[in-house]
Chains A and B, each alone.
Chain A
């Protein structure tokens, strides 16, 4: 029974990892910007939901506030930090350091406003019910899996069936050629930030209502996103999604054999194994360097 319980918990965690990681992978894959502050997007969305919902505004305003905050943060960061650095031909490393700095700043500001301790949102959907003897699942677990399936299905449709989605894939291939076609790469990159940041929101909200939050949770989210992007294959959205699920399941099932403090180490063991044995990842074309 414990294995089934852990597998279901792992699927829920993996679904949320998949959403955040696909958001990062979409931004990184199409813009080549190492958006380390993606974790900060998660923190902003989660705390905005916590604040709006917790002050009695209700679920829908909470979700809207979290979405608006996440999307605006991604867009503003792109416009005010990444675009100026790239305009001055700043290196990949410069962008990474700037993004890392913004992530730390967000973490500190959230800590000052909401406190540095653990906090969580209690909703009627958080309570677990026994589905088979000894196995407890909360409605939020089903919502997490359903939400992930729907959003990633919608993302697939967007990337394959719309001009903007096709342009995003084109940008990932060759930004210079995008300009030759007469398209505006900055505008397409902004779309990547909007979509990638919005994908974080369900994961942030469900996490705030299940495992809880603290201002440093963004680092864990970012590390998982990075690991899933590499394990899944850089540039492969489907690969990243699979890797997110795999990492969530592995972290959870590892509890059968190791103590909970080692679960993050399991993620990195998988990451290192892929870097050494299969650097192109599950479905990727480019080797991770």
Chain B
């Protein structure tokens, strides 16, 4: 089986300072893979390197077996990858409608399909309909996160990279946010690479987990195995 997304011996950093190295990661089709680690472990850097936001210093990134190392985010997005960045992930001065329109324009969603695509996303995250015309700056953290995820889904990606979606959200709201994404993964075969600090909640929806420390992968396995590993669970 060809991996949906994989990193081979990947190394990346900022301004010549290495942050991650020797990363060998495989995201299988229709799988939820959870990346766990403390702040500074290199989780977000890994996601950015895989999405083309930072250029890898070594190694390779592949999508469906095709090498995309050094490709621009636009090209990677065109291959069916969408990323929900850490933080608010929305443009403060734009309305939700404008953010959605810009997202679809950026990923070349055909004009005639755009209205239907928005309705599809509103079917998954119906609460967004209530604030479509409001500037994103006026939305709560949870609403902004929903818009950010909704925007990423508009391109109907095969692979979704989620960077700490729980930041600033109450646990209940986080569960509400993850439930439709999990349903989408099970129904449409979406592959999800989830970076999360809220380990217990994230593991509930994950098929596999990877633990990172100081820019390297130190453990990989099933979520229940991690649950059995007292030392790791204490740490994370």
Please indicate whether A and B come from the same complex rather than being unrelated chains: yes
| A182 x B91 contact (CB < 8 A) | no
Known: A173-B94, A177-B91. A184 touches B102 (CB 8 A): no
Residues of chain A within 8 A (CB-CB) of B89 are 177, 180
A167 at the interface (CB under 8 A from B): yes
| B91 x A170 contact (CB < 8 A) | yes
Residues of chain A within 8 A (CB-CB) of B194 are none
On chain B, the number of residues with a Cβ less than 8 Å from chain A's Cβ atoms is 25
| B102 x A170 contact (CB < 8 A) | yes
CB closest residue in chain A, given B83: A180
A89 and B94 CA atoms in complex are apart in Å by 28
A-B contacts, CB under 8 A, total: 56
> Which of A89, A166, A182 sits near B98, CB closer than 8 Å?
A166
A169 and B98 CA atoms in complex are apart in Å by 10
> Which of B15, B53, B93 sits near A179, CB closer than 8 Å?
B53
A170 and B98 CA atoms in complex are apart in Å by 10
Residues of chain B within 8 A (CB-CB) of A170 are 91, 94, 102
B213 at the interface (CB under 8 A from A): no
Which residues of B42-95 are within 8 A (CB) of A?
51, 53, 72-74, 76-78, 83, 85, 89-94
| B93 x A169 contact (CB < 8 A) | yes
Known: A89-B15, A176-B53. A181 touches B92 (CB 8 A): no
A166 and B105 CA atoms in complex are apart in Å by 11
| B74 x A163 contact (CB < 8 A) | no
| B72 x A184 contact (CB < 8 A) | yes
A125 at the interface (CB under 8 A from B): no
| B94 x A169 contact (CB < 8 A) | yes
| A182 x B85 contact (CB < 8 A) | no
Known: A163-B105, A166-B102. A180 touches B51 (CB 8 A): yes
Range of interface residues on chain A? 10 to 19
A287 to chain B, nearest CB (A): 16
> 1/0 contact trace for A84-97 toward B, CB 8 Å?
00000100000000
| B101 x A166 contact (CB < 8 A) | yes
Residues of chain A within 8 A (CB-CB) of B103 are 181
- Central interface residue in A163, A174, A179, by most chain B CB within 10 Å: A179
| A182 x B107 contact (CB < 8 A) | yes
| A182 x B92 contact (CB < 8 A) | no
| B77 x A182 contact (CB < 8 A) | yes
Known: A173-B94, A174-B91. A167 touches B102 (CB 8 A): yes
A184 and B92 CA atoms in complex are apart in Å by 19
| A173 x B91 contact (CB < 8 A) | yes
A169 and B73 CA atoms in complex are apart in Å by 20
Residues of chain A within 8 A (CB-CB) of B173 are none
B106 at the interface (CB under 8 A from A): yes
A146 at the interface (CB under 8 A from B): no
A105 at the interface (CB under 8 A from B): no
> Which of B15, B74, B94, B101 sits near A182, CB closer than 8 Å?
B74
Sample 26 A-B pairs with CB under 8 A, ordered by A number.
Answer: A163-B101, A163-B102, A163-B105, A166-B98, A166-B102, A169-B91, A169-B93, A169-B94, A170-B94, A170-B102, A173-B91, A173-B93, A174-B91, A176-B85, A177-B89, A179-B53, A179-B73, A181-B103, A181-B151, A182-B73, A182-B74, A182-B76, A182-B106, A182-B107, A183-B74, A184-B72
The 9 A-B residue pairs with the shortest CB-CB distance in the complex, in nearest-first order? A182-B77, A182-B106, A173-B91, A163-B105, A182-B74, A181-B106, A170-B91, A183-B106, A180-B85
Which A residues have a C-beta under 8 Å from some C-beta of B?
89, 163, 166-167, 169-170, 172-174, 176-177, 179-184
Which B residues have a C-beta under 8 Å from some C-beta of A?
15, 51, 53, 72-74, 76-78, 83, 85, 89-94, 98, 101-103, 105-107, 151
